Chains A and B, each alone.
Chain A
């Protein structure tokens, strides 16, 4: 979505890559609402379109929209468009999101920002949560890096406005992963208010409920938060329950995050570990010189683990 695509190839962000694959797996569970191919996907593809590749190839999502704010390199983005079914809209997400047709089919939306939570992000959340229909899955990723000590609270106020700072928030709450925790709280407050508004005066059956499913913390170069879940109306409650998202061990329904930790292991080590996975109850693996924590981390994410290699193409 922003010019950070020039600095880093998204594909090479290992934690992000793990997250993307986990989400892809979770999307499959939506089929209790509607067959997954019939969802529309809305994302910020940048020039790499990593999410678009993964979701089209794995899930056959084929109504796909990418919003790109860099209007000066239109040709480049069009050239990198991975599939015919991907349509690129150029402009700010604030301006583009309200123009989509949300009412016909449920959406999977990934508002994947590089920057920190700010009023523009909240504006997009407002649009999406007030427009997407029952069965939609919505994700928000924001940078949650701590800023300089002494400026943390001020920065948050500058970004989201005083009226959105949770009561009692102090500078010391914003250290380490504190910014991510506060960002989640502010996003949740926004979602709650939008839904109270949206639900005004409608029948009980039609009232929209939000169920948080994802609360990822990860860190490739900066601390990041990905938050999201499914919205559905009251009468679709049983469809939601029969999705059984709870089976996925990375699902988090409250403030407790799932930290994606990607250990550094050699190919030989990976191969060895793979032959012993999945682990049967409480058994453990050992490798000479490798911290047990790394092995444990790998065991949890091995199915999503990215392997990068240099190659002449």
Chain B
């Protein structure tokens, strides 16, 4: 208390309440769990680099009674646990993981605090083992002591063959809201879908992620590609080559021939070091709308799909926010990429505008030439796109010629229409319209 008596000093130190109750408010439950998955994936990267995660797994179990995530991704060395992993915020000198997705030093603690009041972290590496077990409320009561304590620690440890070299985090005594959610089948489905999208790239690289014993199965993003229709692809780097960017923009369609395309999936997906940050975005952030000199999203563009991959060994260069649920859009490099997205999407958006226009002036339900072009082209994964270029298609739409065609639509009493139909001897109303018009042309407009 001696400091506070010094009239020159103002107390600005953080409180534990801030971390336990405030910080978690900005984080939704799925994101908290995704954050823990990110930590495991970082382990996988330390172990295997960033290309192939075969034989690595992350198992997540949720129920009303508790939460558990365990992996075989290498474990946390005691040194790291003691000095870095439990600190709030990244400490200067933290050993870096290349292409890391856990960057802010808040993920694990924040996620645990979001879930419940009792946690246990157990980790086994090739040569060490520790356990940290803590009752959060008891910890909170000791106002000025921020330390956690090892409840078990072996600096020299040789794991036996059955043991997983990895980390297990268990949270019990869940908050009531969390326990309620975890018990809902529908919540589990939503969580599964979200984890599947968030980590689709890592899963495609062989990582096995299971939720309540069932593996997540992603369906890779696909675009239509044929000799007649090609997506845009561009790659470039910024920050002196330290940040690599790949952009794809093209047309997609449903793989279910009877299905309707879901506009909620259209738009841009943005990935940072393989982690999905923005999903199906249709806003200003990804090049849509007047501010970007593009149209605003409309269901005519439901077939549009764009994907951006940011990749960097130095994760602090990536344009994500701390909850990895959005973009730090004021970052100069993101502005530059948004400009590229704005440009690269224009030809694809124009194409879809033409598709919609063609549909509107078409008289029947059969495919228009542009729709046929999309229908004929197979869906391919992004991995099959190698050469850079803008979005192209090679059918000259007949729209331009149709500029001179006008469509007429009118209503008449049913009785009269049937009478005319009978006299003309035709079966459809379209023919009634066409024949009566042709008759008028012949009788009144000849030689005009």
Contacts and interface: CB of A to CB of B under 8 A. Distances in A.
Contacts of B339: 130, 194, 197-198, 200
A281 interface: no
Interface in B246-295: 290-294
A157 to B, nearest CB: 13
A90 B350 CA distance: 14
Interface in B218-244: 238-240, 243
Contacts of B336: 197-202
A48 to B, nearest CB: 22
A104 to B, nearest CB: 13
Nearest to B392: A99
A127 B333 contact: no
A126 B293 contact: yes
A2 to B, nearest CB: 15
Contacts of A122: 293
A99 B347 CA distance: 7
Contacts of A127: 293, 343, 346
Interface centre among B238, B339, B346, B400 (most CB of A within 10 A): B339
A199 B293 contact: no
A201 B243 contact: yes
A201 B333 contact: yes
Contact of A90 (B238, B390, B400): B400
B293 A123 contact: yes
Contact of B332 (A95, A194, A199): A199
B281 to A, nearest CB: 17
Contacts of A203: 240
B129 to A, nearest CB: 43
Interface string A183-204: 0000000000010111111110
Contact of A119 (B290, B331, B347, B403): B290
Nearest to B344: A98
B293 A98 contact: no
Contacts of A71: 400, 403
Contacts of B298: none
B338 interface: yes
Contacts of A131: 343
A203 B400 CA distance: 44
A194 B331 CA distance: 15
Chief secondary structure at chain B's binding surface: helix
Interface string B316-350: 00000000000000011111111110110011001
B343 A196 contact: no
A163 interface: yes
A200 B238 contact: yes
B404 interface: yes
A202 B236 CA distance: 11
Contacts of B240: 203
B342 to A, nearest CB: 7
Interface in A196-220: 196-203
A163 B338 CA distance: 19
A131 B293 CA distance: 14
Interface in B369-408: 390, 400, 403-404
A161 interface: yes
B260 to A, nearest CB: 27
Nearest to B243: A201
A197 B293 CA distance: 14
Interface residues of B, number: 28
A72 interface: yes
B335 A200 contact: yes
A119 B293 contact: yes
A189 to B, nearest CB: 12
Nearest to B336: A200
Contact of A196 (B239, B292, B335, B400): B335
A72 B399 CA distance: 11
A86 B196 CA distance: 52
B347 A98 contact: yes
Contact of A126 (B238, B335, B342): B342
B334 A200 contact: yes
Contacts of B340: 130
A129 B335 CA distance: 14
A200 B343 contact: no
A119 B293 CA distance: 7
Contacts of B238: 200-202
Contacts of B404: 72
Interface string A68-99: 00011000000000000000001000110011
B390 A99 contact: yes
B342 A163 contact: no
A207 to B, nearest CB: 10
Interface centre among A99, A127, A197, A200 (most CB of B within 10 A): A200
Contacts of A198: 336, 339
A130 B290 contact: no
Interface string B164-197: 0000000000000000000000000000000000
B232 to A, nearest CB: 10
Contacts of B347: 95, 98-99
B333 A200 contact: yes
B351 to A, nearest CB: 9
Interface in A114-142: 119, 122-123, 126-127, 130-131
Contacts of B333: 200-201
A98 B331 CA distance: 25
Contacts of A95: 346-347, 350
Interface in B9-67: none
B403 A200 contact: no
A197 B346 contact: no
Nearest to A122: B293
Contacts of A199: 332, 336
A250 to B, nearest CB: 30
A200 B400 contact: no
Residue with the greatest number of chain B CB neighbours at <10 A, chosen from A126, A196, A199, A201: A201
A72 B403 contact: yes
A94 B347 CA distance: 9
A90 B340 CA distance: 24
A213 to B, nearest CB: 24
A98 B332 CA distance: 23
A200 B332 contact: yes
B294 to A, nearest CB: 8
11 contacts: A94-B350, A95-B347, A98-B347, A119-B290, A130-B343, A163-B291, A198-B336, A199-B332, A200-B238, A200-B332, A200-B337
Given A71-B403, A163-B290, A197-B336, 17 more contacts: A98-B343, A98-B347, A99-B347, A119-B290, A119-B293, A127-B293, A127-B343, A130-B342, A130-B343, A131-B343, A197-B339, A198-B339, A199-B336, A200-B331, A201-B336, A202-B238, A202-B336
Nearest 9 CB-CB pairings of A with B: A201-B333, A200-B336, A200-B332, A123-B293, A201-B238, A98-B346, A197-B339, A200-B335, A197-B335
